[in-house]
Amino acid sequence: MRQFKKLFEAHFKSTFREKQVWFWSVFYPVLLLVIFLMIFGGSDAKEANFSAKIVVVSAEQQNQDATQLLTTLQQMPALEWENKEPVSRQQAEDLVKSKDIDAAIVLPSGDMAKPIELIIHKEKQNSALTPVMNNIVKGALEQSIQEEAAVKPHYSIQSEFISSGNAKLKYVDFLLTGLIALSISQAGLFGMIVMVEMRRNGLLKRLMLSPVNMKLFGLSNMMVRFILSAIQAVLLTLVGIFFYDASIDINIISFLLIFIVGTTAFSAIGFMVSSLTKTPDSYFGLANLISFVMMFLSGIFFDSASLPSYIKPISDFLPLTYFANGIRDGMVYGLGIMHPAFWLNLGVLAAWGIVTFIIGSRFYKWKG
């Protein structure tokens, strides 16, 4: 225990005395949060190559306008129908919450004062889906009116955003949890540069010849990683809550398990990178390449379901996809360990951690 304490103190001091650690691991994710909220807050969308899976909700007493609008919508090539027949509002909301469809359209009833509603998942509130779907429905409504000889009542369009988690969920909650996962993953990826430096300067060889227990050496290093990751998660959460009114619905057990396994897995990936590189430059080059790919393909800044079909398999393979989903499920949606998604995310992260640690152990030159 005394040796572990000394090793822990050494790792802690060597990690947190570096100004680069504080900037890139702590303040850089906060900077990303602010920048991307500004960017995505005012983003516009294009309808080119757009497609969306939808259903319609029909009132019990459907009027002629609704019938004509439904016929026009069914002719739209950009719309893919989950069910050709109208469904109930509850069924539509369940399909949106589970992300089986992109949107649900509530057809007008006999009450002309009620607008046509679009039901969309809150995660897609700032994505291309919302403005494009509004334009499609508006165009279909205008077309259906023009096809009628008589002048028909004018309806407005109203979007409603729902979520499988807290009713107050906003896009900032989606982005916040994604950035927490990203910052922890980058700390693991780039934090293992010390293994390259220790091998180059011969310190690792001297440690192996000393009475130092190398298992305690690795364990103390991981404990420092957990502390750094906890600081990142807490700081980003506080910024999200106090400055952007983020909503949190956390399940402590599932969040902690994903947090521990994810932090360990990305440290193992960083260890693998250190085993495959000989200099700090090559280490950072490979780590930056991995980080760049995961950053934009793992659903950090936007829903990965919007990715092109030929890129989606890459997203489904990346560990950060499952880490972000796990953090999001446990921190925003409040999903517990009994949910199937939890075990999928945990299992994939554990597999990545085990496989990359084995590869790192196999190729790392412990004696320089």
Residues 6+ apart with CB under 8 A from 60: none
Residue 309 above 60 pLDDT? yes
CA 121 from chain centre, in angstroms, equals 14
When pLDDT is averaged across residues 174-188 and rounded to a whole number, the result is 90
When pLDDT is averaged across residues 342-356 and rounded to a whole number, the result is 96
In the numeric block, which tokens belong to residue 45?
A: 């969308």
Backbone angles phi, psi at 242, to 5 degrees: -85, -25
Helix (H) / strand (E) containing 74: none
Q: In what order do the strands lie in the sheet with 103-106?
A: 79-81, 52-57, 103-106, 116-121, 157-162
Helix (H) / strand (E) containing 294: helix 280-297
Do the Cβ atoms of 162 and 93 come closer than 8 Å? yes
In this prediction, residue 269 carries a pLDDT of 94
Residue 311 — pLDDT band, cuts 50, 70, 90?
confident
Q: What gap in Å lies between CA 283 and CA 277, rounded to an integer?
A: 5
When pLDDT is averaged across residues 103-109 and rounded to a whole number, the result is 83
Q: How many other CB atoms are there within 10 angstroms of residue 183's CB atom?
A: 25
The amino acid sitting at 161 is F
The predicted-structure confidence for 274-301, as pLDDT tens digits, reads as follows 889 888 888 889 988 998 899 889 988 8
Q: 174 or 320: whose pLDDT is higher? A: 320
The amino acid sitting at 147 is E
Residue 149 — pLDDT band, cuts 50, 70, 90?
very low
Percent of the chain whose pLDDT exceeds 70: 81
Question: In Å, how far are 79, 114, 285 from 190, measured between CA atoms?
Answer: 43, 54, 10
In the numeric block, which tokens belong to residue 34?
A: 């602010």
When pLDDT is averaged across residues 342-347 and rounded to a whole number, the result is 95
Q: What gap in Å lies between CA 176 and CA 162, rounded to an integer?
A: 18
When pLDDT is averaged across residues 80-96 and rounded to a whole number, the result is 87
The predicted-structure confidence for 5-51, as pLDDT tens digits, reads as follows 877 787 777 776 766 666 767 777 778 777 777 765 444 434 445 67
Enumerate the β-bridge partners of residue 57.
87, 106
Residue 261 — pLDDT band, cuts 50, 70, 90?
very high
State the CATH architecture for 52-162. 3-Layer(aba) Sandwich (3.40)
When pLDDT is averaged across residues 185-211 and rounded to a whole number, the result is 79
In this prediction, residue 354 carries a pLDDT of 96
Residue 79 above 80 pLDDT? yes
First to last CA, the chain: 28
Instruction: Using DSSP, state whether 262 is helix, strand or coil.
Output: helix
Backbone angles phi, psi at 31, to 5 degrees: -60, -40
Residue 145 — pLDDT band, cuts 50, 70, 90?
low
Question: In Å, how far are 9, 151, 208, 226 from 172, measured between CA atoms?
Answer: 36, 43, 47, 25
Residues 6+ apart with CB under 8 A from 213: 3
Going by C-alpha positions, the residue among 84, 92, 72 that lies closest to residue 138 is 72
Which letter, b or e, does each residue of 71-94 get, where b requires 16 or more Cβ atoms within 10 Å of its Cβ? ebbeebeebeeeeeebbeeeebbb
Do the Cβ atoms of 96 and 121 come closer than 8 Å? yes
Enumerate the β-bridge partners of residue 52.
79
Residue 129 above 80 pLDDT? no
Residue 308 — pLDDT band, cuts 50, 70, 90?
confident
Residues of the chain with CATH 3.40.1710.10: 52-162
The amino acid sitting at 341 is A
Q: Where are the beta strands (DSSP E) in the chain?
A: 52-57, 79-81, 103-106, 116-121, 157-162
In this prediction, residue 166 carries a pLDDT of 54
In this prediction, residue 301 carries a pLDDT of 83
* Average pLDDT value over all residues in the chain: 80
When pLDDT is averaged across residues 303-327 and rounded to a whole number, the result is 88
CA 174 from chain centre, in angstroms, equals 7
In this prediction, residue 122 carries a pLDDT of 79
When pLDDT is averaged across residues 327-349 and rounded to a whole number, the result is 91
